[in-house]
Structure 1
Amino acid sequence: MKIAFSTLGVPGMPVAQVVRLAADHRFHGVELRAHATEEPVHTALSATERAAVVRQFEEAGVEVLGVGSYVKVAASGEDEPVLAELRAHVALAADLGAPYVRVFPGAAEATTGADAVAARRLAAVAPYALDREVRILVETHDSHRTAADVQRILGLVGHRAVGALWDVMHTWLGGEQPSASYPTLAPHLGYVQVKDIASAEDRTPLPLGQGVLPLTECVEVLSRDDWDGWLCWEYEKRWFPAVPELPGLLDGARGHLGRLLNESA
């Protein structure tokens, strides 16, 4: 498996710094948060600016794992604004050489109607994504936090350009253990997002291995199936200001994930 970290919780960090940190701490890739007002990488970048981002990653030998969008595919409202935003993020990922775009479900609740809305929108954009060699991944999150929830949407779409992003915290909060989540998501799985927290009530991020999330079990079920994808550590200082700065945590996170992979090999 390859190991990445996410800039989802590090608003405004320059691309050059992100790349340098990834290379210095032996991460294979980075998930880039795409936010128009907080981040240096977003859908309004020109072709020249996108090429400059690609060049920095290539020179460092670090991959762009994915684009973390804030598109909510099951949210109420008209389809076209969602479709336009989704296409724009797919185009950005393609230009950056990133294989994935993360989207949220974002419904008020996980109903059959919300499933159908999400599936309709994803199916509409799937051919566009396929043509650009990008997969749209629905994260286990918010209204559809379990693998079973997300699988209902993906089953309706039935297109290989649409898959799942497994956020281990959310499936665990939804009452699923990795032994149940993984088989459900496996046919659709793009990559796996990991973090650690103090408890279900206190989601303040902790160094990997110091909280309650079943990270060891997650890696074990992936390894037993010879899954050869990405583990991406999600750092969340953006929403938890008391969390230490990213550079001081990278070695510990990289070391813990490396140990989990070795133990399960």
Structure 2
Amino acid sequence: MKLAFSTLGVPGLPLTDVVRLAATNGYHGVELRAHPEEPVHPGVGARERGDAVAAFRAGGVEVVGVAGYARVAEAGEDGPVVDEVHALVDLAHDLGAPYVRVFPGGGEQGPGKADAHAVRRLTAAAPYAEERGVRVLLETHDSHRTGAAAARVLDAVRRPGVGALWDVMHTWLGGEQPSASYAALGPHLGYVQVKDIAGPDDTVPLALGAGVLPLGECVEVLSRGGWDGWLCWEYEARWYASAAPLSGLLADGRAHLGRLLNEAA
């Protein structure tokens, strides 16, 4: 498995510094948060996109994915949501990234309506993603935080341009064991977001291994299943002012993930 981290942990940092952090701490890739606060998002032009590609190429670091904020299960019209997904796909294609992250965002509609919205919109976006060589990944999050909930949608879509992003915190908070999450998501899995927290009532991000999330079990399940994709550390510093700076944690986090991979092997 290859290791990456998300720029959510270093919000607004120039890309040259992001690449340097990845390269000097032994990470193979970076997930780019695609938000207007960041250097690269769907609103930037060809020059900024080309500069980003050049920066990552020079550092020998890959762009794993574009973490967007489209909510495919939310109430409302389909058109704006599909257009937002297409714009994220274009950005990922231009950056050479294989994946786009989207959220469910079903709110209080109930699973039937939320699932129907998500299936319809992901099915509509899939052909464009496939043409561009990109997979749109539905993250285990909010209204569909478990693997079982996300799989209800993905099993209905069944397109190569659509898959799953397993956020191990949300499946754990949803009461799902790693083996059950992988069983549901495995046929669709794009990559995996790892993180650590103190508990269900304290989700301030911690150094990997310092909290309660079953990271070792998740890595073991993935290894036993023969999965060999990306593990991406999503350190949610953007949302927690009290979180320690990610830059000082990256080396130890890389070492911790390395130990888990060795143990699983």
Q: TM-score range by the shorter chain?
A: over 0.9
**1:188 Cα deviation after fit:** 0.1
CA distance in 1, matches of 2:38, 2:97: 17
2:199 counterpart of 1:208: no
Give distance in 2, aligned partners of 1:102 and 1:96. 14
Q: Which runs of 4+ in 1 moved over 6 A?
A: none
Task: Give the number of equivalent residue pairs.
Answer: 264
1:64 match: secondary structure: strand
Q: Secondary structure at the match of 2:106?
A: coil
Deviation at 1:44, TM superposition (A): 1.3
Matches within 5 A, 1:11-90: 11-36=11-36, 38-90=37-89
On the 8 A contact 2:9/2:246 being kept in 1, the answer is: no
Q: Is the 8 A contact 1:204 1:240 kept in 2?
A: yes
1:250 Cα deviation (Å)? 0.5
- CA distance in 2: counterparts of 1:28 and 1:9, whole angstroms: 16
User: Does the 8 Å contact 1:194/1:215 carry over to 2?
Assistant: yes
Partner residue in 1 for 2:252? 252
Percent identical across equivalent pairs? 66
Structure 1, unpaired ranges of 5+ = none
Following the alignment from structure 2 to structure 1, what is the Cα–Cα distance between the partners of residues 111 and 152?
10
The RMSD of aligned alpha carbons is 0.8
Letter of the aligned partner of 2:238 in structure 1? R
What are structure 2's unaligned runs of at least 5 residues? none
| Matching of residues 1-265 of structure 1 within 5 Å | 1-36=1-36, 38-109=37-108, 110-265=110-265
Name the amino acid aligned to 2:38. Answer: E
User: CA-to-partner distance for each residue in 1:110-164, whole Å, 9 max, x for gaps?
Assistant: 5111101011001101000000100000000000000000001111211011000
Q: TM-score, normalised by structure 2?
A: 0.98
Structure-2 separation of matches of 1:8 and 1:128: 27
User: Which residue identity lines up with residue 93 of structure 2 in the other structure?
Assistant: A
Alpha-carbon distance in 2 for matches of 1:49, 1:243:
30
1:231 Cα deviation from its structure 2 partner? 0.4
CA distance in 2 between partners of 1:44 and 1:114 (Å): 28
SS in 1 for 2:120: helix
Q: 8 Å contact 1:116–1:156 — kept in the other structure?
A: no
Give the CA deviation at 1:243.
Answer: 1.0
Q: Secondary structure at the match of 1:116?
A: helix
**Cα displacement string for residues 48-76 of structure 1 (whole angstroms, at most 9, x for unaligned residues):** 21111001101111000000000000011
CA distance in 2, matches of 1:206, 1:8: 14
- Once the two structures are TM-superposed, the CA of residue 10 in structure 1 deviates from its matched residue by 2.5
Tell me the secondary structure at the aligned position of residue 133 of structure 2.
coil
